[in-house]
Amino acid sequence: MDKSIAAMISAIEIYNKPDFKYREETFSILAINAWELLLKAKWLRDNNNAIRSLYVTEKRLRPNGKPYKHAKVKMTGSGNPFTHSLDYLAKKMTEKKALADAAHKNIIALCEIRDSSVHFYNKSGVFAIRLQEVGSASVKNYAKAANSWFGVGFSQYNFYLMPLAFVAHQQPADAFLLSKEEKNVASFISSLEAANDPNADYAVSVNVELKFLKSKADDAIKVQVTNDPNAPKVQLTEEHLKDKYPFNYATLTAACTARYSNFVQNKKYHDIRNPLKADKRYCHVKKLDPDNPKSVKQEWYSQAVFNVLDKHYVAKG
């Protein structure tokens, strides 16, 4: 556990250096290391600290061709035991409900970034921004899991998230500079983000937006994010709502057709979808004329709606 924390702090510290040319690649490698050590610590605790529970075993044959009665521990070239991979542990712990599905998918996304970083050359600013979104969620998930499983607090560390690194906002032309490999990684991460639930403790990725606005007005209002229920409320703009709820009925139905092999636009679909309209996590009902109580209404759905639909339909392979 101590080594795991050290790896994650190192990842954050290197990422937030003012001028570090291998920022995204180094962060992904160290963050993956931190997660693997954290999951191994949890796995050991759940298995009564039996170190053998971490070992990979394999069936071997005797010189006479008959198999040994018990599986043997698989060894590395140096003669040390092979241990289970991060992928194996995360999958098993998700199946046992010890690890949240969104955290598992975040780890998968982070591993894809790590693999791309190790095996390819990533040059696009778009890739850097996607790493920041996945990496920020990964740090958040890690802190939550470490605290939940081991009671570890991070108040003694400068456990600040990645916005300190100030990734430059992507330019429209950046989308055309993505290599084939970078496009594949970006597309794969996007497919995982359907598991995002804005109200859940864990996330696949988070939107990172940092703006500095200077007002010349002497009476400009200063604002601060707060949990105080008596604080003045700020209304989301139309642009914010479109980002949060990108699907209308037609585009949601088209997305379902593309996503599921057994999807049919029928009563079953409507019976699943209609109750979601009352839940802000999944749907925002917008009046075309807000001042008219009899105005026509239009429903807009968030990515989180797929968390529900995935339980009823089979995803295409």
Domain ranges of the chain: 2-195, 238-309
Confidence (pTM): 0.58
197-224 per-position pLDDT tens digit = 766 778 777 665 555 455 555 545 455 5
Report residue 22's pLDDT band, with 50, 70 and 90 as the boundaries.
confident
164-177 per-position pLDDT tens digit = 444 444 443 344 45
188-203 per-position pLDDT tens digit = 777 777 666 766 778 7
How many other CB atoms are there within 10 angstroms of residue 71's CB atom? 13
Q: What is the mean pLDDT of residues 36-59?
A: 93
- Determine the 3-state secondary structure of 295 from DSSP: coil
